Amino acid sequence: MSRVHDALRKAEQLGQPNPEAPGGFEARDAAGVDIGPGSANTYTTARRNHVNLLPDLDLDNLLSRIQSIPFALAPETHLIGIENPDDTPGEEFRTLRTRLNHLQTQQVLQSVVVTSASPAEGKTFTAVNLALVQSQLADNPVLLMDLDLRRPVVHNLFQAERSPGFSDYLLDGAPLEQVIKRIGDTNLYFLPAGSPVKNPLEMLNLKQVKAVIHTLPKIFSWLIIDTPPLLFSADANLLSTLTDGTLLVVRIGSTTYDNVIRAMQSLCENNVLGIVANGARASELYSKYTYYYSKHD
């Protein structure tokens, strides 16, 4: 962990956004260097056996049976819309998308947990925008899963219903094709959290959760999973063991060095794809890209 300590300590001492990173937003590995190939864990390697753990699920026809809901982003969400997908604020997410797609060619990588050490650091903002830009690629169906069963908010961002959702599938037997929704006519699909539950961690330990995360990558190019913060529950720790990788979101000027270290130590280090630095000043972002795009008018 010494390289992790050194990288994070350096970032804390600087205390400023990186002006060379788009939007002050970087995807770096645990040592503070560019994301590179990692080792697939035993679970993801075993998944290549292509065994359908959900035998009642018609994988070949699932997407065609999923209903669409309007693409209606809530106001003031700062999410990437379909009307202007190439607007400047989306550039940093396209950079992250490029890095992850390159990494996917080098290792087993389809399911990604997006989490943070503490609340209000931008994990949901990052998860949703990453899913949006991934879905903008042709023939790239993406499933955004809201597995923050304690305080789910993704459905609010899309002005959609919270239920039926994942908890209803697990506890009440609601079919997957009824709880998953397609966002407009895009490649983005959304699985909301579902009805409130009293024991989220116990529910996430059900064998059906592993089966869903194991099976759905046979249909979707990416599973992007929003989870609770690492230091407030064990939900994200559990889900990270079931997925191919984890992105840790930190907020510049807010996330403390000690919290990042504690969060990293709670995860399997080989499973951490990188750290996403969120919270650059808007003036820096826009001044940089306004210059670039003005040269091409």
Residue-level pLDDT at 89: 59
Tell the burial category of 167 from Cβ atoms under 10 Å away from its Cβ (0-12, 13-18, 19+): buried
Could you give the CA distance from residue 49 to residue 88 in angstroms, rounded to a whole number? 41
Judged by phi (left if over 0) then psi (alpha if -120 to 50, else beta), residue 277 lies in beta
Query: Do 270 and 38 form a contact (C-beta atoms < 8 A)?
Result: yes
Fold of 2-294: Rossmann fold (3.40.50)
Cα gap 269→49, rounded to integer Å: 25
Of 155, 178, 189, which Cα lies nearest the Cα of 73?
155
* CA proximity to 3, closest of 272, 276, 250, 279: 272
> How far is 276 from 236, CA to CA, in rounded Å?
16
Among the listed residues 188, 248, 169, 157, the one whose alpha carbon sits nearest the alpha carbon of residue 68: 188
What DSSP assignment string belongs to 103-150?
HHTTS---EEEEEESSSSSSHHHHHHHHHHHHHTSTT--EEEEE---S
pLDDT of residue 76: 78
* Bridge-based pairing state of the strands 27-28 and 272-278: antiparallel
Residue-by-residue pLDDT tens, the chain, 297 positions: 444 444 445 445 444 444 333 333 444 433 333 344 444 444 444 444 456 778 778 888 999 999 999 999 998 787 876 665 556 558 889 999 999 999 999 999 999 999 999 999 999 999 999 999 999 999 999 999 999 999 999 999 999 999 999 999 999 999 999 999 999 999 999 999 999 999 999 999 999 999 999 999 999 999 999 999 999 999 999 999 999 999 999 998 888 889 999 998 888 766 899 999 887 655 444 333 333 333 444
Q: What is the pTM of this model?
A: 0.80
**Residues 142, 209, 132, CA angle at the centre, nearest 5°?**
15
> pLDDT at position 289, please?
34
Spatial distance between the Cα atoms of 109 and 97, rounded to a whole number of angstroms? 13
How far are the Cα atoms of 34, 80, 157, 237 from residue 73, in angstroms, in the given order? Answer: 32, 9, 6, 30
